């Protein structure tokens, strides 16, 4: 990197999963808008042609960044300053098994990538890949900052640290941002307070996709009582804002979030689709009809396949100049984090890191989601306090599984992986025999990635 006053040039970013048609495009847009940073993004992907297409799209922007696709990870990582990881572990065939095989046993998952049977098997495929990433980073760019967007987030980040303890890695998720925006809307509607997400301060604590906010303020105004009035107002109908929950598989009316606030008196800070999978005992996922009543969606893999096909066509059109790339802020904070880490201003935002003591009541090294302070070449977790016991009870099986799943994968221990499935709240309604049948069927469906177990 080269420092030039209030600019930093010649930054090298290695993008693992550089053929991405989502995260990569968001990064390109945000990098183009940030004039204080420039350099080269090396795009590595097992789908080299997808990375080449993104190379063309990125360079067509004629920004201060140059994009180059490489066909080996070593070239991307060598002497990189930053590493970004956003991959799909496996194919949509394995994902279809993750999400839909449990439905034969009455288990419905709205996402299936973090917890539940789907989260488990996605993790079994993903952890060995991240072991390899960590070892490559240790060899080729040990001082790089590593930003992970891949799910299951907590297990990916923990694997990086378990494999290379000195790694400088953290995980980013935008779920909390959406909840902060909801608090901002509550402030406007209930008290006519004009503010933005960046204007409010929230205390974030929990684990990824099962994150909570116990304090929220704007200047000297406590926003929790205002949020409570907002919940009371929209508890029965839900709150959709300008967009109907029915318009997209990833949308909801926040009814689950409101119900959790009523039950636990603390703001659940993730989307309804993710929250429900951690607490199946509360009845949000009983069946598709129940899901509709709570106004969120079971996201089918068939939709993801169709969406991918549309994005492939879109990428080809943009590469050929037949469709314009629309540069606009993505709402993500990866570029803001890079800017802070190279010394161009400080930042406080929520990230996923091992627990060094920032959350009381959760054991050390469990990957938790809290606020952290970003400054030049340093990230310091913000002490966030402790969740109520009533919420910690809900977290407990998922925290135990975070350890058990990694151990099972590293040891290739099929029996231990089965016990992790049995411990998951989604599976507890099954008999042991049915749970074992489900496990064996899902294992068979993803065996291509589970060799030598």
Output the CA–CA distances (angstroms, integers) from residue 69 to 83, 168, 205, 228, 437, in the order listed.
14, 24, 38, 49, 43
Tokens of 203: 């205390």
C-alpha–C-alpha distance, residues 315 and 28, integer Å: 13
Domain enclosing residue 242, as ranges: 90-116+174-299+332-453
Report the pLDDT value the prediction gives residue 241, as an integer from 0 to 100: 82
Q: Do 159 and 225 fall into the same domain?
A: no
The Cα 27–Cα 332 span in angstroms is 8
Same-domain status, 153 and 197: no
β-partners of residue 49 are: none
- Per-residue pLDDT of the chain in tens (453 residues, 90 and over written 9): 898 889 999 999 999 999 999 999 999 999 999 999 999 999 999 999 999 999 999 999 999 999 999 999 999 999 999 999 999 999 999 999 999 999 999 999 999 999 999 999 999 999 999 999 999 999 999 999 999 999 999 999 999 999 999 999 999 999 999 999 999 999 999 999 999 999 999 999 999 999 999 999 999 999 999 999 999 999 999 999 888 999 999 999 999 999 999 999 999 999 999 999 999 999 999 999 999 999 999 999 999 999 999 999 999 999 999 999 999 999 999 999 999 999 999 999 999 999 999 999 999 999 999 999 999 999 999 999 999 999 999 999 999 999 999 999 999 999 999 999 999 999 999 999 999 999 999 999 999 999 999
Question: DSSP states of 84-133 as a string?
Answer: EE----S-HHHHHHHHHGGGGGT---SS-SSSHHHHHHHHHHHHHHHHHH
Separation CA 184–CA 203 (nearest Å): 15
Can you give the length of the chain in residues? 453
Strand partners, 217: 201, 222
**Site of tokens 């050390």:** 364
Same domain, 112 and 123: no
Note whether 26 and 110 are same-domain residues: no
The Cα 373–Cα 351 span in angstroms is 10
Positive/negative CA dihedral, 305, 85, 128, 205: negative
The token pair that represents 33 in the structure block:
């808008």
- CATH code where residue 400 lies: 3.90.1820.10
Q: Does residue 310 lie within any of the structural domains? A: no
* Helix, strand counts (H, E) of the chain: 16, 16
Q: What is the CA radius of gyration of the chain?
A: 21
Is the Cβ–Cβ distance between 346 and 380 less than 8 Å?
Answer: no
294 and 411, same domain (yes or no): yes
Residue carrying the six token digits 């802070």: 340
Phi-psi region of 308 (alpha: psi -120 to 50; beta: other; left: phi over 0): alpha
In terms of domains, do 251 and 360 share one? yes
Q: Which residues contact 298 (CB under 8 A, 6 or more apart)?
A: 108, 109, 110, 288, 291
- Is residue 279 situated within a structural domain? yes
CB neighbours of 395 closer than 8 A, spacing ≥ 6? 206, 207, 210, 278, 362, 387
Residue 326 lies in a domain: no
Distance CA 397, CA 395 (A): 6
Question: Exposed, middle or buried, 224 (CB in 10 Å: 0-12/13-18/19+)?
Answer: middle
**CATH code for the domain in which residue 127 is found:** 3.40.50.720
| Whether 139 and 246 share a structural domain | no
Name the 3-class secondary structure at 256: helix
In-domain check, residue 305: no
Catalytic residue among 174, 274, 398, 419: 174
398 is catalytic: no
d(CA 175, CA 277): 15
Q: Does residue 156 fall inside a structural domain?
A: yes
pLDDT at 5: 80
Paired strand residues for 350: 371
Judge whether 368 lies within some domain.
Answer: yes
What's the structural domain count of the chain? Answer: 2
Alpha helices (H) along 216-353: 224-234, 255-264, 272-278, 288-293, 301-320, 334-341
Cis ω before 25 (30° cut-off from 0): no
281 and 252 in a common domain = yes
Residue 167 pLDDT: 98
Q: Is 350 within 8 Å of 371 (Cβ atoms)? A: yes
Q: CA 31 from chain center: how many Å?
A: 20
DSSP state, residue 356: S
Please state, as a whole number, how many other Cβ atoms lie within 10 Å of the Cβ of residue 109.
25
Write down which residue in 173, 208, 241 finishes a domain.
173
Q: Are residues 191 and 60 in the same domain?
A: no
Helix pair 23-33, 48-60: axis angle to 10 deg = 20
What CA–CA distances, in Å, run from 230 to 182, 236, 269, 294? Answer: 10, 11, 15, 17
Q: Do 350 and 395 sit in the same domain of this protein? A: yes
- Whether this prediction's pTM lies above 0.95 is answered by yes
Where are any strands of DSSP class E within 355-416? 359-360, 367-375, 378-381, 385-386
Q: Look at residue 320 and tell me if it is in a domain.
A: no
Angstrom distance (rounded) from CA 264 to CA 363: 22
Q: Looking at the domain assignment, is residue 75 inside a domain?
A: yes
Same structural domain for residues 260 and 381?
yes
25 and 99, same domain (yes or no): no
Residue ending a domain, choose from 139, 173, 207: 173
């Amino acid at each position: 990197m080269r420092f030039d006053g209030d600019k930093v040039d010649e930054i090298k970013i290695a993008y693992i999963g550089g053929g991405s048609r989502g995260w990569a495009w968001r990064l390109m847009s945000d990098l183009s808008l940030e004039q204080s940073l420039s350099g080269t993004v090396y795009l590595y992907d097992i789908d080299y042609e997808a990375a080449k297409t993104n190379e063309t799209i990125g360079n067509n922007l004629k920004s201060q960044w140059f994009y180059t696709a490489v066909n080996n990870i070593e070239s991307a990582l060598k002497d990189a300053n930053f590493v970004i990881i956003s991959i799909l572990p496996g194919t949509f065939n394995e994902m279809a098994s993750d999400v839909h095989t449990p439905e034969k046993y009455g288990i419905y998952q709205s996402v299936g990538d973090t917890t539940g049977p789907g989260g488990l098997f996605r993790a079994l495929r993903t952890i060995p890949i991240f072991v390899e990433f960590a070892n490559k980073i240790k060899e080729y760019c040990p001082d790089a900052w590593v930003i992970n967007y891949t799910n299951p987030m907590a297990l990916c980040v923990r694997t990086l640290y378990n494999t290379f303890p000195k790694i400088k890695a953290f995980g980013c998720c935008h779920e909390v941002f959406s909840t902060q925006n909801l608090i901002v809307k509550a402030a406007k509607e209930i008290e006519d307070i004009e503010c933005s997400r960046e204007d409010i301060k929230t205390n974030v604590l929990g684990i990824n996709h099962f994150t909570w906010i116990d304090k929220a303020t704007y200047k000297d105004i406590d926003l929790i009582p205002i949020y409570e009035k907002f919940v009371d107002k929209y508890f029965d109908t839900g709150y959709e804002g300008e967009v109907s929950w029915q318009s997209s598989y990833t949308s909801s009316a926040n009814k689950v979030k409101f119900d959790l606030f009523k039950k636990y008196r603390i703001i659940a800070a993730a989307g309804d689709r993710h929250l429900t999978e951690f607490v199946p005992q509360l009845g949000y996922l009983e069946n598709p009809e129940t899901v509709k009543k709570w106004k969120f969606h079971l996201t089918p893999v068939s939709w993801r396949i169709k969406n991918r096909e549309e994005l492939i066509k879109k990428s080809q059109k943009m590469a050929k100049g037949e469709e314009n790339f629309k540069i606009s802020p993505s709402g993500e904070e990866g570029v803001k984090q890079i800017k802070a880490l190279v010394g161009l201003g400080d930042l406080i935002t929520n990230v996923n890191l091992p627990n060094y003591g920032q959350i009381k009541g959760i054991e050390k090294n469990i990957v938790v989601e809290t606020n952290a302070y970003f400054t030049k070449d340093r990230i310091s977790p913000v002490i966030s306090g402790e969740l109520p016991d009533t919420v910690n009870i809900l977290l407990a099986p998922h925290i135990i599984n975070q350890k058990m799943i990694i151990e099972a994968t590293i040891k290739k221990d099929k029996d231990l992986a089965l016990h992790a499935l049995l411990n998951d709240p989604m599976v507890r309604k099954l008999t042991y025999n049915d749970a074992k049948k489900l496990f064996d069927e899902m294992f068979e469906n993803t065996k291509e990635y589970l060799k030598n177990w």
